[in-house]
Structure 1
Amino acid sequence: NKQTNTWNLSDASLNSKLELGSYLGGLFEGDGHIWIPNTSSKKKHNPRFCITFHIKDLPLAEKLLEIIEYGFIRKKTKENACVLTVSPVKGLKKIISLINGKLRTPKIHQLYSLIEWINKNHNLDIKKLTLNNEGLNQDSWLAGFIDADGSFNIRHTRLESGEKRRIGCSLKIEQRKVDPITNESNKEILTLIAEYFHTKLSLRQQSRTNREYFIISASSQRSLRRILDYLENHSLLSSKYLDYKDWAKGVNLILTNLHYTEDGIAQIDNLKNNMNRNRREFNWDHLERLEKECHGYQ
């Protein structure tokens, strides 16, 4: 089951916009954290800005590191993960300049702690910008957040005793109910995302940890149209981009009412069987867009 990565420029929704700062902000608020050293500690440590990726998204982590220029990637083989870690002050200042003013969740307080540390220890006066409350369709924040916490699914259930089969596509976004550091609820932003995708916010308890999670599940035709509209304009960058592209083909079959034709059913099965965990080949052409961003942030 070796992963095959390929790179050669193709369509990759290259006409869509990428705002690197808001994308990175969404990725951080989905799967990142900032560690601030204890002031009473004798040893001098820098803060650490970290984002955790699935190991299959190592090419994206490497590309982001190339742009930030300072930091390293730690592989956690047992957990199938890798962590992009930025600790040098030059790198931390770059992160702040990218995501300050772009955040939308209680994790903004981690950024504020980082700004306070930098200002105090390096005699700077970086302003703490407030939460971004522009419409979700205005930037790439939601693309970053979906890359962190979203999943694209195609469902095909054959019902017994000659009943009608069911075919559907859904986007699911899952995030902890409460921010563990500030104890503030994530309800406000997740309600906004649910409303934007024309669906409802629900809550579930994880039996293993007893933690509560907010869940957004969008599958109506109205929701599917809105998701396509957003993601064709604000591209994903992780390997979920590839799952999204396959999923979108399934969505188009549904929207054109071809999903229950013989050919449509065959296409749905083929798409479903080769995405998410079943994907073996990864084409990273879509990261070319980040290549262009590199030149803007060097």
Structure 2
Amino acid sequence: MSIIYNQPQILGFYIAGLFEGDGHIVMPAVYNKHNPRWHITFHIKNQPLAQKLLSKVGSGFIRYKTKNNACVLTVSSVKGLKWVTAMTNGKFRTPKIYQMHLLIDWLNKHHSASIEKLPVCTKPVSGDSWLAGFIDADGSFGIRYTKKLPGVCQKVDAACKHKQRVSCRFRLEQRTVDLKTNVTYAGVLNLIANYLGVGLNTRSQTSTGKTYYIIEFSSLASITILINYLNAYPLLTAKLLDYNDWHTVAERIINKTHYTQDGLAEIRTIKAGMNMNRGVFNWQHLDEF
């Protein structure tokens, strides 16, 4: 499935999307003494992907943040910085392109590079793997399974609040503005929302007072669009395993077998083992990568 990522153009869009969700570049305080550091942060369970990407870059290291259950892929050699730049230049869609342009300026000035600073990519998100990387960073898949309460709603009643419900939910969340440039994320998130056939909403985090953009849906029309996209450009983190389970339930809903005895039994089992409850991880999808 992931063999398509052996193609540099496709891998480059994926890395750009992943970086724009969970990456950042630290420029040196002493401009001509230290190298910039290009980082992508992963949950510790995604260490196999971080190692695989490190092998592709060919230069760098992985730093472990045990208190945060995280690991950070770091690239700081000129060779590695030129590689990630060549792979992702022209593929950025968010305000983080500002960081990429600073890196290009540094490479051009201090290492005789002549790299053109390509602008934000405005192509539809449906045509490349950028969105797969962005979802791997900031998306989530969930199953809602509400049991029917005993003694109520024995008859079929569409208005009953206590009837049994099964649905698949997708959620993608991102800050409203870039912290370094104060440039809004509205443009790219509207592109994603429009592609998936939903609106772009906001939510405020009570504990911090910060506001985030959110794309969320459970409609079959949007689910079908996302399935078709991820069939073409698969996820690479452990989130792929949650997506596969989510996809199985979505197929039951589409085929109207989710309320059968077998269907409900399977859905209960799937829901119980997804996301934070997952204990076994299969990384076979990286074997061909």
Shared fold (TM-score greater than 0.5)?
yes
Aligned partners of 2:248, 2:202: CA distance in 1, in Å?
A: 29
Task: Return 146-155 or 265-274, whichever deviates more.
Answer: 265-274
For 1:294, the equivalent position in structure 2 comes to none
For 1:4, the equivalent position in structure 2 comes to none
The TM-score, its normalising length taken from structure 2, stands at 0.92
Residue by residue over 1:199-257, the C-alpha shift from the partner in whole angstroms, topping out at 9 and shown as x without a partner, is: 11110111222211111102101001001000000010000011111110000001011
Work out whether 1:130 is the aligned partner of 2:130.
no
Aligned partners of 2:93, 2:264: CA distance in 1, in Å?
A: 40
Task: Return 196-205 or 226-235, whichever deviates more.
Answer: 196-205
Aligned partners of 1:289, 1:145: CA distance in 2, in Å?
A: 21
Distance of aligned partners of 1:17 and 1:95 in 2 relative to their CA distance in 1, 3 Å threshold: closer
For 1:202, the equivalent position in structure 2 comes to 201
Aligned partners of 2:277, 2:122: CA distance in 1, in Å?
A: 37
1:168 alignment partner AA: S
How far off is 1:181 after superposition? 0.6
Aligned partners of 2:256, 2:197: CA distance in 1, in Å?
A: 20
Residue by residue over 1:83-122, the C-alpha shift from the partner in whole angstroms, topping out at 9 and shown as x without a partner, is: 0010001000000000001110000000000000111111
For 1:140, the equivalent position in structure 2 comes to 129
**TM alignment of 1:215-254, pairs within 5 A:** 215-254=214-253
Structure 1 contact 48–85 (Cα < 8 Å) conserved: yes
Structure 1 contact 17–233 (Cα < 8 Å) conserved: no
Aligned partners of 2:165, 2:197: CA distance in 1, in Å?
A: 21
For 1:105, the equivalent position in structure 2 comes to 94
For 1:116, the equivalent position in structure 2 comes to 105
Mind listing any 5+ residue stretches in structure 2 that lack a counterpart? 154-161
For 2:159, the equivalent position in structure 1 comes to none
The TM-score, its normalising length taken from structure 1, stands at 0.90
How far off is 1:159 after superposition? 4.5
2:187 alignment partner AA: E
Structure 2 contact 2–286 (Cα < 8 Å) conserved: no
SS at match of 1:282: coil
**TM alignment of 1:1-298, pairs within 5 A:** 12=1, 19-39=10-30, 44-160=33-149, 161-162=152-153, 163-290=162-289
2:135 alignment partner AA: I
Q: Structure 1 segments of 4 or more deviating over 3 A?
A: 12-18
For 2:157, the equivalent position in structure 1 comes to none
1:178 alignment partner AA: V
How far off is 1:14 after superposition? 5.2
Amino-acid identity (%) = 50
1:106 alignment partner AA: P
Q: Identify the structure with bigger relative contact order (alpha carbons < 8 Å, sequence gap 6+).
A: 1
Aligned partners of 1:168, 1:267: CA distance in 2, in Å?
A: 14
Residue by residue over 1:237-295, the C-alpha shift from the partner in whole angstroms, topping out at 9 and shown as x without a partner, is: 000011111110000001011111111111111111111111111110111232xxxxx
Mind listing any 5+ residue stretches in structure 1 that lack a counterpart? 1-11, 291-298
Structure 1 contact 202–216 (Cα < 8 Å) conserved: yes
Aligned residues: 277
Aligned partners of 1:13, 1:148: CA distance in 2, in Å?
A: 17
Distance of aligned partners of 1:16 and 1:181 in 2 relative to their CA distance in 1, 3 Å threshold: closer
Structure 1 contact 106–179 (Cα < 8 Å) conserved: yes
Aligned partners of 2:268, 2:255: CA distance in 1, in Å?
A: 17
How far off is 1:35 after superposition? 0.7
